[in-house]
Amino acid sequence: MVSPPKAIEYPSVLEELFEPPAKMLSLAEEQPVWRLRYADGRVGWLVFDLARARTVLNDPRFTVRESGFALDDGGFEEATFHIDNPGDLARLDPPQHTRVRKALTAYFTVGAIAKRREAVERIVATCMDSMEATGPPVDFVQGFSRRVPSMTICSILGVPYTEAHRFEEPTQLLLSGTRTTLDEKKAAIEEFYDYVRSVIAQKRAQPGDDLISELLARGELTEDELAGVAWFLFAAGHETTGQTFAFATFWLLYEPGRWQAMLGGDTPIAQIVEELFRYVPIFRVGIPARTALEDVDLDGYLVKAGEPVMVYQTVMHRDPSRYSDPNRFDPSRDASGHILFGFGRHMCLGQHLARLELQVGLEGLHTRFPTLRLAVPRDEVRLIQSGFSHGVVAELPVAW
């Protein structure tokens, strides 16, 4: 066992839009695990290599119930724990996590999501129609990248899209980092839960052809679990996909000609999307920290009970021992093995839906708007940074 290396601080300033901080890349070259000072003052760990990351993300000796970030999240964590959350998958350990996830898995398999392709194609077409009707310039975030996943999750959960503000607004508030207070975030999450409980009550009274009605009929989840599940599906179902979509599109439009060059060739869209997932992840550091429940020997590094460990996703996606010429975007490469959707038991439930939305969305956009471009100078595009997000595009004005 080695003595713990000196604690590093995570850079608070973004140097490059689409690149992990150079300093962190050079730390990764030096050693696979570093001590890291967390925003809450705790000193924990930052893991740069895949084998150890897999242990952290799948070993039951690590919990998700005490989290933490390298940078100030403005109370996001505390606010999400403010509500009793027996159904919020991101906040559960086994055996409760296993029980809740099992009730949902069948609806998010590769096969089950493939059956939603036509529905997603219709949603993408609707959003493109309204972009055309409005005419350029259009804010791509409002008009497309957030709208497509919002409409999709509305159709899955069986609520009208006119209600989307009921979950979009509190989500924005929760994710606004230090620009909103902890109290505002607590109020936002209460408002969000009020909405999901009203949806559940409505589905109980009038079941429809939707996932909430189906989960109610199956009766495997308690009322509180179902509320947590619904909050989780609404929140995770629209915002992460929307952010990923906007950031990837910003990258595709950042250099003139890139949109046409990347999407106009013979490379299958599935492969392009996978490389986008590897190359332009929205997260600043990566997956929220796990906390060791007992002392764990992380292949030579002793993580003590109570210490947080973060897996450094964005840097691991640039590991030259896994991807040749990793700092080059290359849609012809095999980008599999990226951990944009995490790993282990918490690997994203909706990952195949996110894939479908990006694939159908980008293909549709390239066909309808082959000349899509930024409608403002690229330096004027505003990015929201928070404790955990690297590239949340606030607004992306586009023209064609």
Partner 1 sequence: MVRIVGNRDICTGAGMCVLTAPNLFEQDDQVGLVVVKSEHVEGEALEAARKAVSLCPSGALSLEDDSARTSPRATSTPSSSSWSHGKPT
Question: What is the contact surface with partner 1 in residues (CB under 8 A)?
Answer: 2, 28-29, 31-33, 48-49, 57-58, 101-102, 105-112, 299-301, 319-325, 334, 336-337, 342-345, 347-348, 351-352
Whose Cβ is closer to partner 1: residue 211's or residue 396's? Answer: 211
Residue whose C-alpha is closest to residue 376's, from 50, 139, 195, 153: 139
Phi, psi of 383 (to 5 degrees): -110, 140
Which residue number, 195 or 323, has a Cβ lying nearer to partner 1?
323
CB of 239 to partner 1, least distance (A): 21
Q: Which residues pair with 98 in a beta bridge?
A: none
Q: How far is the CB of 29 from partner 1 (least distance, A)?
A: 5
DSSP 242: H
Residue 28 or 235 having the CB closest to partner 1: 28
SS3 346: helix
Q: Helix/strand/coil (H, E, C) string of 290-335?
A: EEECCCEEECCEEECCCCEEEEEHHHHCCCCCCCCCCCCCCCCCCC
Q: What span, in angstroms and rounded, lies between the C-alpha atoms of 319 and 322?
A: 5
Strands (E), the chain: 7-8, 33-37, 43-47, 62-63, 138-139, 286-292, 296-298, 301-303, 308-312, 373-374, 383-384, 392-393, 397-399
CB of 324 to partner 1, least distance (A): 3
Nearer to partner 1, 94 or 264 (CB): 94
Residue closer to partner 1 by CB (options 57, 362) is 57
Sign for the pseudo-dihedral over CA of 168, 180, 346, 356: positive
CA-based torsion, 392, 73, 52, 348: positive or negative: negative
- 112: Cβ–Cβ under 8 A, 6 or more apart, which residues? 106
| Closer residue to partner 1 in complex, CB, 255/297 | 297
Minimum CB distance to partner 1 smaller for 61 or for 322: 322
The two structure tokens encoding residue 356: 């479908």
Helices in 19-116 by DSSP H: which ranges? Answer: 22-30, 50-58, 76-82, 96-105, 110-114
Least Å distance, CB 94 to partner 1, is 10
Q: Residue 300: which of 45, 1, 6, 61 has the closest Cα?
A: 1
Handedness of CA 193, 199, 202, 204 (dihedral sign): negative
Minimum CB–partner distance for residue 108 and partner 1 (Å): 7
Which CB sits closer to partner 1, 5 or 11?
Answer: 5
Q: Are residues 52 and 319 in contact, defined by beta-carbon separation less than 8 angstroms?
A: no
Shortest distance in whole angstroms from residue 106 CB to partner 1: 4
Instruction: Give the amino acid at 245.
Output: F
Give the shortest CB-190-to-partner 1 separation in angstroms. Answer: 31
Instruction: Supply the minimum distance, in Å, between the C-beta of residue 78 and partner 1.
Output: 28
Q: Which residue number, 211 or 246, has a Cβ lying nearer to partner 1? A: 211
Rounded Cα distance between 317 and 19, Å, is 11
Question: Smallest gap, in angstroms, from Cβ of residue 336 to partner 1?
Answer: 6
Q: Using alpha carbons, select from 264, 219, 257, 212 the residue that is nearest to residue 373.
A: 257
When the beta carbons of 323 and 369 are compared against partner 1, the nearer one is 323
Min separation Cβ 344 and partner 1, Å: 5
